[in-house]
Amino acid sequence: MAARAQTAPEAGAAPRHVAIIMDGNGRWAKARFLPRIAGHKQGVEAVRRVSRAARTLGIEVLTLYAFSSENWRRPAEEVRDLMGLLRNFLASELEELVGEGIRLRVIGDWRALSPDLVAMIDHAVARTAEASGPTLVIALNYGAQAEIAAAARNLAEQARDGAIDPADIDEACFAGALATRDLPPLDLLIRTSGEQRLSNFLLWQAAYAELLFVDTLWPDFDAATLAEALAQYGRRQRRFGGL
């Protein structure tokens, strides 16, 4: 089965799906002679600002890389602080998400987190499941290579059990086995802080996404920075291999 070709949007069209690698919290804190947790706290404030700005700017899906599967290598105290900030965010923002009609999604191996945090995520996802507005996707304990391997494993098991014909496994079929299967294609991937790598984030989904690397540290990222990123996206021409 041939994969369906993606249609290039009109020039200047706004992106439907934007993802952000939120980088630079530690450097923000270091520059101010503050502990790293201060940078992470300001990073949470940036999440609040940017999530609200995304809704104002008409972004249909905003995906944020909050905690990677490799972040467990950080000091235990920092990991504990990050999980505490996540708890606070879920507790403080849930009613606003519900009130604004925002659907919360979580991708990654988040069920490996502590039971109380898993329960909070389950509750928040369930409370917003029927929302008809934009979607906020949080990537937690996420790694793109693990996601791709899990999708391949799932399709292999279906083929083994006779549920699908291996000959029918194409790009569209494979994409349907990923955690993002019911989301629009990724249009724009932004990384803050000046680093220029994907860090195991949405590797499959980013195949034809526009990439934008900005020098702004994540705690300083705001509505104006996001608007400028969308303006840059609008000036690009997306051909998806065509002319």
Residue ranges at the known binding site? 23-28, 36, 40, 68-70, 72, 74, 191, 197-199, 210
Where in the chain does DSSP place strands (E)? 17-21, 61-68, 103-107, 135-142, 188-191, 210-213
200 is a catalytic site residue: no
Binding-site residue positions for substrate: 24-28, 36, 40, 68-70, 72, 74, 191, 197-199
Dihedral sign of CA atoms 138, 69, 191, 22 in order:
positive
Residue with tokens 């990073």: 43
d(CA 152, CA 139): 20
Q: Is 66 exposed, middle or buried (0-12, 13-18, 19+ CB in 10 A)?
A: buried
Nearest to 110 by CA among 94, 123, 122, 98: 122
Q: 106, 138 in Cβ contact below 8 A?
A: yes
* Buried b or exposed e, range 74-85, using 16+ CB within 10 angstroms: eeeeeeebbbeb
Q: 76, 32 in Cβ contact below 8 A?
A: no
Binding-site residue positions for Mg(2+): 23, 210
Nearest to 237 by CA among 3, 52, 63, 11: 11
d(CA 20, CA 213): 10
71 is a catalytic site residue: yes
Residues recognised as catalytic: 23, 71
